[in-house]
Amino acid sequence: NFRVLEYSHEDKVTIMCATWNVNAKSPTETDNLKSWLLPENTRAPDIYAITLQEIVDLNVLNIMLKNSPTVATSAFWVRTFSKLLNSIDYYKVLLDKSMVGIILVIFVKASLHSCIGDVKYSLTYTGNYGTTGNKGGVAVSMRIHDSPVCFVGAHFHANRDNVAQRNLDYHLICNNTEWVSVGPKYVHDDNALFLFPSASDVAIFENEGTEGGGVPPGPSRSRLNSPSDIANSGASPSSAPSTTAS
């Protein structure tokens, strides 16, 4: 539509997606969270989408119990990130959702907060073939101005030879996502999808010909200039997240 510029304009929005399997541990003094979320010589993004895996031990009790201790641990991490990010700029928590060991929290600059609507979330179990939440995906969908965007923090099954199960995890999340609306309702149509499992998941989310190498353990991040970047990148479910900022 060549006339689209007559009645619309483009705004640049920067988004950083960060993922970390914390192995049921709290951050220590040696964990420099600021250098992870704001690498040197980079500007603070407009939106942070941060997901953590294994925020609690994935034992039978924690898997079967709902809310506790996941809620308390999630609240701790949200406070930790809020304190850090607000030392950089003024950020608001748009939404945080957790499921057993997974948490996804979205921070938005206060100046952009009023431009976001149609907020939804979904919790999708993939553990034990879709019955438990020790594996699965936590998703948050929204509209930034008129652009639909979806973030999915995921935790797939482990072990290098378990590719089929990880592919099943991905398809279960895609096929069984049921949205709960927390904002004004619009037609749901995500043009930009950000899927970020843990770095250890991605390192072995390849075909059987992959040996060695992969993504090192620890926190990872991916910085995108706009939702269209990923839409135009041709990224597939088996693509590893970037660990560099641009």
What is the tens place of the pLDDT at every residue in 98-113?
988 899 999 999 999 9
- CA-based max dimension of the chain: 58
Determine the average pLDDT of the residues in 36-41. Answer: 90
Least confident span in 9-13, 176-180, 204-208: 204-208
> In the prediction, which pLDDT does 194 show?
64
Residue 171, by phi and psi: left (phi above 0), alpha (psi -120 to 50) or beta?
Answer: alpha
DSSP code of 53?
A: E
Q: Which residue has tokens 């928590």?
A: 93
pLDDT at residue 135 tops 50: yes
Task: Name residue 231's amino acid.
Answer: A
Determine the average pLDDT of the residues in 183-203. Answer: 54
For residues 100 and 74, give the distance between their C-alpha atoms in angstroms, rounded to a whole number: 10
> In the prediction, which pLDDT does 2 show?
67
pLDDT at residue 211 tops 60: no
pLDDT at residue 119 tops 90: yes
pLDDT at residue 22 tops 80: yes
> In the prediction, which pLDDT does 235 show?
36
> In the prediction, which pLDDT does 85 show?
96
Model confidence band, residue 124 (pLDDT cutoffs 50, 70, 90): very high
For residues 246 and 238, give the distance between their C-alpha atoms in angstroms, rounded to a whole number: 21
> In the prediction, which pLDDT does 188 show?
44
Per-residue pLDDT reduced to its tens digit, 4-21 = 777 777 888 999 999 999
pLDDT at residue 92 tops 90: yes
> In the prediction, which pLDDT does 177 show?
87
Q: With 0-12 CB in 10 A as exposed, 13-18 as middle and 19+ as buried, what is 126?
A: buried
Least confident span in 5-9, 68-72, 73-77, 209-213: 209-213
For residues 102 and 153, give the distance between their C-alpha atoms in angstroms, rounded to a whole number: 7
> In the prediction, which pLDDT does 137 show?
93
pLDDT at residue 148 tops 70: yes
> In the prediction, which pLDDT does 47 show?
96
- As a whole number, the mean pLDDT across the chain is 77
pLDDT at residue 207 tops 50: no
